[in-house]
Amino acid sequence: MRNIDYGQPYPAPYAHLLGLITAGYSTWWQRRLNRPSIYPSWFFFQGNSEFVSEKLTAYELGYRTWPAEQLSLDVAMFYNNYDDLHALERRNDLIIQGDGYLLVPDLFVNAVQSQTYGFEVATNWQAMDWWRLQLAYSYLRMKFQNKPGYSELIPVFQEGSQPHHQISLRSSFDIRHDLEFDLWLYYVDEIPELIIGTLAHTASVDAYFSVNARLGWRPRKDLELSLTGTNLLGPSHIEFVQETYSFPEQVERGIYGQIKWSF
């Protein structure tokens, strides 16, 4: 992870607290210190009786062809129109003054519209009777607009919150009738801007490349033993950062076994 910006409008330091669920409130609390106020402030999530379901109108167009007997090609395009996406509205007019502190509510509201569009291309090639290759590429773009009538909005997503490009290549070998070896290479583009709590707190995730491998053995028709390795060649990396959890886990190299019995 890089480019974590803990800038204005509110000066650091700040503190987070995880609390219990009560009626109309969620569990995440955030305290800002050094605000230009004589009282410290706590920000909390508050329910909204006017909050409704998000709406989606989706358009998709796909095409499949077989240029050769051993080769297939799939192309799909999509356009999605979202309305009433959820966001948080900071309501300074509903501040509650406690004993030496202020409670500032963040209401869940349907305040954002969005359009997403892109395409996917996938091809399958049966190179040999015992060897199959699968190549896929996807492209995604997102646009967001705040609906009028809201004061201080904190969106959950923005245009830089998803990777634009993703590529994967799978190779499947049938070494013999009961033994198989799979190799999966994939690349994910950078996520340039993720929101963490507020617009003043953002993070980005670097692009990464990874390799997974699997060796499977079927001693019987109803029994499969396999050994899988993940992230074998690349260094440890971050793949995503949750908006309310700014200490993400690194995806490290891993190896695990699996036993599958069908009956």
Residue 98 in any domain: the answer is no
Query: If you count them, how many residues does the chain have?
Result: 263
Residue 103 in any domain: the answer is no
pLDDT tens digits, residue range 164-180? 999 999 999 999 999 99
| Structural domains in the chain (count) | 1
Over the chain, what is the mean pLDDT? 81
Give the CATH number for residue 136. 2.40.170.20
Q: How confident is the model at residue 195 (pLDDT cuts 50, 70, 90)?
A: low
Q: Which of 145, 141, 170 is nearest to 155 (CA)?
A: 145
Residue 157 in any domain: the answer is yes
Q: Which domain holds residue 251?
A: 52-86+108-261
Residue 131 in any domain: the answer is yes
Question: Token pair 């245009």 is at which residue?
Answer: 159
Residue 92 in any domain: the answer is no
Residue 47 in any domain: the answer is no
More confident residue, 231 or 91: 231
The DSSP element (H or E) to which 252 belongs, if any, is none
Residue 58 in any domain: the answer is yes
> Cα–Cα distance between 239 and 232 in angstroms, integer?
15
Q: Which amino acid is at 22?
A: T
More confident residue, 90 or 117: 117
Q: What are the structure tokens assigned to 28, written together?
A: 């995440």
Beta strands in 91-190 (DSSP E): 96-97, 102-128, 131-146, 152-155, 165-176, 179-188
Residue 238 in any domain: the answer is yes
